[in-house]
Amino acid sequence: MAKLYTPAMAKIDKKKAKLKGRVRKSSPGREAWKRLIRNKLAVAGMIILVILILVAVFANFIAPDGIDNQVLKNRLQPPSAAHIMGTDQFGRDIFSRIVYGTRISLPIGFVCTVLAFAFGGILGSVAAYNGGKVDNVIMRIMDIFQSIPPLLMAIGIAASLGNGVLNLVLAISLSTTPARSRVIRAAILTVKRNDYIESARAIGASSRRQLLRYMLPNALGPIMTAFTFSVATAILTVSSMAYIGLGIVPPTPEWGSMLSSSKELLRQAPYTLYFPGIMIMITVLALNLFGDGLRDALDPRLK
Give the footprint of another protein on this chain (CB under 8 A): 140-141, 143-153, 155-157, 159-162, 232, 236, 239-240, 243-246, 256, 259, 263, 266-267, 270, 273, 276-277, 280-281, 284-285, 288-289, 292, 302
Of the candidates 244, 227, 249, the one whose C-alpha atom is nearest the C-alpha of residue 154 is 244
Closest CB to another protein among 166 and 202? 166
Cβ 285 to another protein shortest distance, Å: 4
Nearer to another protein, 178 or 215 (CB): 178
**216-219 own/partner pairs: CB under 8 Å, 24+ apart:** 216/125, 216/188, 218/191, 218/194, 219/184, 219/187, 219/188, 219/190, 219/191
- Give one DSSP letter per residue of 183-242, joined into a string: HHHHHHHHHHTSHHHHHHHHTT--HHHIIIIIIHHHTHHHHHHHHHHHHHHHHHHHHHHH
Specify the residue, 126 or 280, whose C-beta has the smaller distance to another protein: 280
Cβ neighbours of residue 247 closer than 8 Å, sequence gap 6 or more: 158, 163, 164, 165, 167, 168, 171, 238, 241
Could you tell me the smallest distance in angstroms from the CB atom of residue 72 to another protein? 25
Are the C-beta atoms of 109 and 235 separated by less than 8 Å? yes
- CB closer to another protein out of 116 and 211: 116
Pick the closer one to another protein by CB: 62 or 189: 189
Instruction: Pick the closest to residue 269 from 84, 78, 81, 95 (CA basis).
Output: 78
Cβ at position 262, least distance to another protein in Å = 9
Residue 192's contacts (CB-CB under 8 Å, 6 or more residues apart) are 128, 129, 215
Nearer to another protein, 115 or 289 (CB): 289
CA distances from 249 to 45, 66, 232, 271 (A): 29, 17, 21, 21
The nearest distance, CB 58 to another protein, in angstroms, is 25
Identity of the amino acid at 37? I
Least distance from C-beta 183 to another protein, angstroms?
Answer: 12
Shortest Cβ distance from residue 89 to another protein (Å)?
A: 16
| In the complex, minimum distance from the CB of residue 228 to another protein, in angstroms, rounded to a whole number | 13
Judged by CB, which is closer to another protein: 74, or 257? 257
